Amino acid sequence: MKRKILKWSVILVVTGLAVGAVGAQQTNEVEQLRKELREMRERMQALEQKLGSIEQKPAAPVPVIAETVPSAASTWKPSDPVRVSKGGAYMDIGMVATFAAGGSTASDIEGGTQLGGHDPNQRGFTVQGAELNLQGAVDPYFRGNANIVFQLDSGGESFIELEEAWLETVSLPGNFQIRAGQYLTEFGRINTQHPHTWGFVDAPLVSGRLLGEDGIRNPGARFSWLVPTPFYSELFFGVQNSQGGTANGFRDDHGGEGFLGRVNTQGRVKTAGDMLYSTRYAASFDLSDTQTLLAGASAAFGPNGSGADTDTQIYGMDIYWKWKPANAHAGFPFVSWQTEGMLRRYQAGASTTLDLTGDSVADFAPRETLTDWGFYSQLLYGFHPGWVAGLRGDYVTHSKMGAYEDLYGADAERAMRWRISPNLTWYPTEFSKIRLQYNYDDRDGIGTDHSVWLQFEFLLGAHAAHKF
């Protein structure tokens, strides 16, 4: 026992000594470091003086690296402008305001000849939208984006739309990316593009009819995977709420008005199967040094509000091709061709709630599946810096008459129609544009109409880089 205590005390003493020795050594080292630091400081001051004298010289005959000073050294003063763009602030702020003026031979412009929610909606002037864009890095893990649209309706009433507000991961492993919040559904090309990037004044008929006036966008989450192929290819999968006006064709009550021969109700989400699911695969190839092709296939599935256990499926194919020569100036000249086709299968429930004959008595419509489809194709030719000539063709129709139409007459929302739209755009700079467009419209059962629209737009502040 005694020996053990002795042994322990020896160990303790030895350890204590060792620690003390290390401590002394450390004190020595600290002093050494202090000395070195002092010396370095002196050396730096001398260098700074030298640098100062070099700077004051009017011009050095042969440049040396020390001649330059880092540009980041300049400090901000209250009199300096506040930069709302990359690097100068925590977020980029931009505003795009788009307007249209013109007229049409049609008397039902809003929702009749013009199907898009941001289209010109009346004879005279239309505020197509003033869109505020906020974006930036949230932290090292997420980036955030919000698009808030201020609009005036055709009656002059102001309203605000939360077009998008989402966060997105920036550093997930495995080439994955997750976006969550309110966002435009990854379906085709036109649906994810904001109207100011469109080549035409208005939305294509097929997206207006099958995706709705504002396209498909809703709260949800989207998952994307950059597939490890030698060429670009990306897979998207999204889950979103399936109700509301921005899920037209799904659980949208259409404001209580009839849609495809039925009164729709929003209903409730009972199972995960009642959500809106969307998927897309896109791939791109450089056909040559000057030509690039991007093609995609999309699908969206979800319940609709026409009855119990009624579903909607929308399928889409899109292709985009662009040519730009190797010595293009300011992005000109170029030729681009974009085509999208869509098909919707809508299971309509049996209904006895809507007055289809106009005799104030509700009529019966049987359960049936309604298939509608259409496409648009557009060609843009940037023939001179700042000048773009465009031509678009639209076509929408149904695959066969619905049973309710056989009973009560053709539904204008399903009838065949086509449209041809030539236009000419002048971009004084990338930040402004003036566009003149003519639409020749032919609607089955209604007739032909002519519309002329002059669109003008300005962009303030930060301008997000364009996607291909």
Q: End-to-end alpha-carbon separation of the chain, Å? A: 83
CB of 29 to other proteins, least distance (A): 27
Among the residue ranges 60-68, 258-266, 404-412, 436-444, the one whose residues contact other proteins (CB under 8 A): 60-68
Residue ranges in 383-422 that form contacts with other proteins under rule CB under 8 A: 385-386
In the set 105, 177, 265, 279, which binds other proteins (CB under 8 A)?
Answer: 177
For other proteins (CB under 8 A), the number of binding residues is 59
CB of 192 to other proteins, least distance (A): 12
170 touches other proteins (CB under 8 A) = yes
193 touches other proteins (CB under 8 A) = no
The smaller minimum CB distance to other proteins, of residues 164 and 168, is found at: 168
CB of 224 to other proteins, least distance (A): 9
The smaller minimum CB distance to other proteins, of residues 143 and 367, is found at: 143
Inter-residue contact 468 to 321 (CB < 8 Å):
no
158 touches other proteins (CB under 8 A) = no
Give the Cα separation of 345 and 369 in Å (integer): 7
Give the Cα separation of 10 and 90 in Å (integer): 62
Inter-residue contact 346 to 389 (CB < 8 Å):
no
Q: Which residues pair with 319 in a beta bridge?
A: 295, 339
**Two structure tokens written together for 439:** 């639409």
Cis omega before residue 333 (within 30°)? yes
In the set 123, 254, 324, 345, which binds other proteins (CB under 8 A)?
Answer: 324
Among the residue ranges 10-18, 104-112, 153-161, 280-288, the one whose residues contact other proteins (CB under 8 A): 280-288
CB of 139 to other proteins, least distance (A): 12
**Two structure tokens written together for 393:** 């063709």
Q: Which amino acid type is present at position 218?
A: N
The smaller minimum CB distance to other proteins, of residues 323 and 364, is found at: 323
In the set 36, 42, 67, 108, which binds other proteins (CB under 8 A)?
Answer: 67
In the set 87, 155, 156, 358, which binds other proteins (CB under 8 A)?
Answer: 87
47 touches other proteins (CB under 8 A) = no
2 touches other proteins (CB under 8 A) = no
The torsion angle over the Cα atoms of residues 361, 365, 370 and 372, rounded to 10 degrees, is -20
52 touches other proteins (CB under 8 A) = no
Query: Which residue is associated with the tokens 């737009």?
Result: 457
Q: Which amino acid type is present at position 227?
A: V
The smaller minimum CB distance to other proteins, of residues 145 and 421, is found at: 145
* Phi and psi torsions of 277, nearest 5°: -110, 135
Residue ranges in 209-248 that form contacts with other proteins under rule CB under 8 A: 226, 229-232, 234
In the set 1, 3, 52, 65, which binds other proteins (CB under 8 A)?
Answer: 65
CB of 148 to other proteins, least distance (A): 21
Residue 22 Cα to chain centre, angstroms: 62
Query: Which residue is associated with the tokens 């040094």?
Result: 289
Give the Cα separation of 133 and 465 in Å (integer): 12
Name which of 429, 417, 334, 440 is nearest 379 in CA terms.
334
In the set 257, 289, 309, 359, which binds other proteins (CB under 8 A)?
Answer: 289
Among the residue ranges 7-15, 110-118, 285-293, 346-354, the one whose residues contact other proteins (CB under 8 A): 285-293
Residue ranges in 129-148 that form contacts with other proteins under rule CB under 8 A: 137, 140, 143
Inter-residue contact 423 to 438 (CB < 8 Å):
yes
Among the residue ranges 39-47, 57-65, 237-245, 449-457, the one whose residues contact other proteins (CB under 8 A): 57-65
In the set 75, 326, 358, 360, which binds other proteins (CB under 8 A)?
Answer: 326
Pairing outcome for strands 447-461 and 92-104? antiparallel
The smaller minimum CB distance to other proteins, of residues 187 and 301, is found at: 187
89 touches other proteins (CB under 8 A) = no
Give the Cα separation of 434 and 456 in Å (integer): 4
In 138-275, at which residue ranges do the beta strands (DSSP E only) sit? 142-152, 158-169, 176-184, 217-226, 232-240, 258-259, 262-263
Give the Cα separation of 150 and 160 in Å (integer): 5
Burial class (CB in 10 A: 0-12, 13-18, 19+), 84: middle
In the set 113, 242, 292, 312, which binds other proteins (CB under 8 A)?
Answer: 292
Among the residue ranges 44-52, 172-180, 203-211, 253-261, the one whose residues contact other proteins (CB under 8 A): 172-180
62 touches other proteins (CB under 8 A) = yes
Local structure of 379: helix, strand or coil: strand
Pairing outcome for strands 368-384 and 447-461? unpaired
Q: Which residues pair with 243 in a beta bridge?
A: 251
90 touches other proteins (CB under 8 A) = no
Residue ranges in 420-439 that form contacts with other proteins under rule CB under 8 A: 429-431
The CA–CA distances, whole Å, from 462 to 96, 135, 136, 301 equal 10, 9, 11, 36
User: Can you give the binding site for other proteins, defined by CB under 8 A?
Assistant: 62-63, 65, 67-71, 74, 80-81, 83, 85-88, 137, 140, 143, 168, 170-173, 175-177, 226, 229-232, 234, 282, 284-286, 289, 292, 294, 322, 324, 326-331, 385-386, 429-431, 463-468
